[in-house]
Structure 1
């Protein structure tokens, strides 16, 4: 995990509402800028602290690496910047109570480097800094002051999850201890297809949240993630649910889970607005699960729920 500090006095609203960071690739005169070069080092899952008006106003999670992109419409704010730049997609969460680092600079100083530090020794921001890396200790102090738990904040971005699944699949394809037919079924199970889907349908015949039973509109979703499962678990019908696509999204990303009796467990990160708009406001219990499903649900509750 790497941590970053971004100064957004001029572009805070544009970038946090738009879900991105953007910087020129070089200074106006063509010289390299270390605080623009850092954009190329950001990767999906990195944590970014947004500093504006002397306070940490938001925390973001990078959703991918920087890409070359023309300057967004910043209005007159960006007139002095070149048009060619770097754009990093970021999912920002606004701080419930913004904090002023200057008020606890003594706690930050032991974790603050000298070169490219975001703050001066008196706690004021360093002019000229756009994006700079901070230490894990520095980030931990900020998170504590904000009252945010990093594991709770960091719902792994889609590219990170896909990369982990891809790596697990590549490893599977390279194995010599199982035959090609078995490999194919294990690979298909990642996508909710093949023997796995057939096995799930022996236990489940409808989406427990929407009631839809037409299999054409249902996803066979692993309870314990495919990448974390053994070969047997990847194909075990008890390790799966049939879910409507939007319900699968909530379950797969840890926004909901279930207890063994079928009570719906909602993450604090799932808003009432989304829950209601997706038609789940009346859903509180989806029916008792089988004992063979309970071990997988226990894993999901412990490891996946945000």
Structure 2
């Protein structure tokens, strides 16, 4: 029996282009001072087949996880101190971006997690999305999303 597909939202910011070109998602094992952040360790929970909404000012792509994540240095890093969680993914670029404001604010507020109490995006890297939220996104933006939500 295959595991259930999980859905995620990643805030990539300026790392989007690097990660997209490399076909991966990467987060450090720990932050400054050795603190561990769950939104970083979530990369270690990604499983093959999981779908990730890639956000960098807008939703720009949906990626599909290709293999289990591993602990590896940041791609392009010259030091092994830059160890983190890396998941190989395939990016499916959207034909046009989906702006945050086009996702109903009440959906975002109800979803919480990746969204704050006003429906804005929180300052975290990777959080899981509910299946209910993803179904609504897939229905509303069917023409813009890849055929991965059947």
Calculate the TM-score normalised by the size of structure 2: 0.84
Q: Are the equivalent residues in 2 in contact too, given 1:56–1:101 (CA < 8 A)? A: yes
CA distance in 1: counterparts of 2:69 and 2:139, whole angstroms = 28
The residue correspondences of 1:37-48 to structure 2 (distance < 5 A) are 37-48=41-52
The residue aligned with 1:64 is 67
Q: Are the equivalent residues in 2 in contact too, given 1:9–1:51 (CA < 8 A)? A: yes
> With CA pairs under 8 Å and 6+ residues apart, which has the higher RCO, 1 or 2?
2
Q: Secondary structure at the match of 2:13?
A: coil
Structure showing the higher strand proportion among its residues: 2
Q: Secondary structure at the match of 2:94?
A: strand
The residue aligned with 1:140 is 135
Cα RMSD (Å): 2.3
The residue aligned with 2:40 is 36
Structure 2 unaligned residues grouped into runs of 5+:
none
CA distance in 1: counterparts of 2:106 and 2:10, whole angstroms = 21
Residue 24 and residue 139 in structure 1: after superposition, are their counterparts in 2 closer, same or farther (change >3 A)?
same
The residue aligned with 1:26 is 30
The answer to whether structure 1 residue 51 and structure 2 residue 65 are counterparts is: no
The answer to whether structure 1 residue 2 and structure 2 residue 6 are counterparts is: yes
Deviation track 1:209-264 (CA, whole Å, cap 9, x = no partner) reads xxxxxxxxxxxxxxxxxxxxxxxxxxxxxxxxxxxxxxxxxxxxxxxxxxxxxxxx
The answer to whether structure 1 residue 131 and structure 2 residue 126 are counterparts is: yes
After superposing on structure 2, the runs of 4+ consecutive aligned residues of structure 1 that deviate more than 4 Å are 148-151
Q: Secondary structure at the match of 1:45?
A: coil
Q: Are the equivalent residues in 1 in contact too, given 2:72–2:83 (CA < 8 A)? A: yes
Q: CA deviation at 1:27?
A: 0.9
Quick check: which has more Rg, 1 or 2?
1
Calculate the TM-score normalised by the size of structure 1: 0.43
The residue aligned with 1:153 is 148
Q: How many residue pairs are counted as aligned between the two chains?
A: 142
Q: CA deviation at 1:151?
A: 8.8
Q: Are the equivalent residues in 2 in contact too, given 1:26–1:32 (CA < 8 A)? A: yes
